Amino acid sequence: MPLVTPLNPEHDLETKSLADFFNETLGFCPNSVLTMQHRPAISKAFINLNKAVMANEGRVSSALKRMIAWVSSNATGCRYCQAHAIRAAERYGAEEEQLNNIWSYKTHPSFNESERVALDFSLAASVIPNAVDDALKKRLYTYWSEGEIVEMLGVISLFGYLNRWNDSMGTKIEDGAVESGMMYLGKNGWNKGKHL
């Protein structure tokens, strides 16, 4: 059982209108957003932040942003966010080979060095204690601009919030997210965990 019951999508019409964003991203409105509606200011602020963080500003593609989100969520253990991130990466055009091999991005040939360093940054910024250091900074600056690094850390930070929200809430995972999770992550042990 979730810690707090999600509210009906009609509960707050402004949130509902903003949440149309997720129909493109995921194909459904996440139960996490429906739970945030208990305080509509939170649901609306979250959606607007999500839209800003995930906007395409340049070379950090929508697919890569979602893979960054997956690595961050995997580091923290949030199965709900792992499934959402892999589903969104799929919907935003990530290569099938990358989706099937995200667990081994460090060595799999479907990932190039700029993608690897972005995903290494996600991992380093998501663990406790934080592992971002000068060597990683040097690697990041080899491939990415300061604005692009800000975009990446925006994704990592957004998913830090979501990982804590959904794991603490025990948010019930939606069927579409389960389908993508099982397809791309199940072979490596992914399951719904507490998100039943």
Residue range 55-64, pLDDT digits in tens: 988 899 999 9
* Residue that the structure tokens 């940054």 belong to: 121
Cα–Cα dist 6/157, whole Å: 23
Cα–Cα dist 32/158, whole Å: 13
Residue range 8-35, pLDDT digits in tens: 999 999 999 999 999 989 999 999 999 9
Q: What number of H helices and E strands is found in the chain?
A: 11, 0
The domain ranges of the chain are: 59-188
Look up residue 51 and give its two tokens. Answer: 């839209």
> What pTM, to 2 d.p., does this model score?
0.96
Q: Is the pLDDT of residue 1 over 90?
A: no
Residue range 69-97, pLDDT digits in tens: 999 999 999 999 999 999 999 999 999 99
Q: What is the pLDDT of residue 51?
A: 96
Residues 6+ apart with CB under 8 A from 152: 60, 65, 68, 118, 121, 122, 144
Q: What is the pLDDT of residue 88?
A: 97
Domain 59-188, classified CATH 3.40.250.10, yes or no: no
CB atoms within 10 A of CB 128: 7
Look up residue 77 and give its two tokens. Answer: 């253990």
Report CA torsion sign: 176, 54, 167, 193: positive
Residue range 165-175, pLDDT digits in tens: 999 999 999 99
Residue range 96-142, pLDDT digits in tens: 999 999 999 999 999 999 999 999 999 999 999 999 999 999 999 99
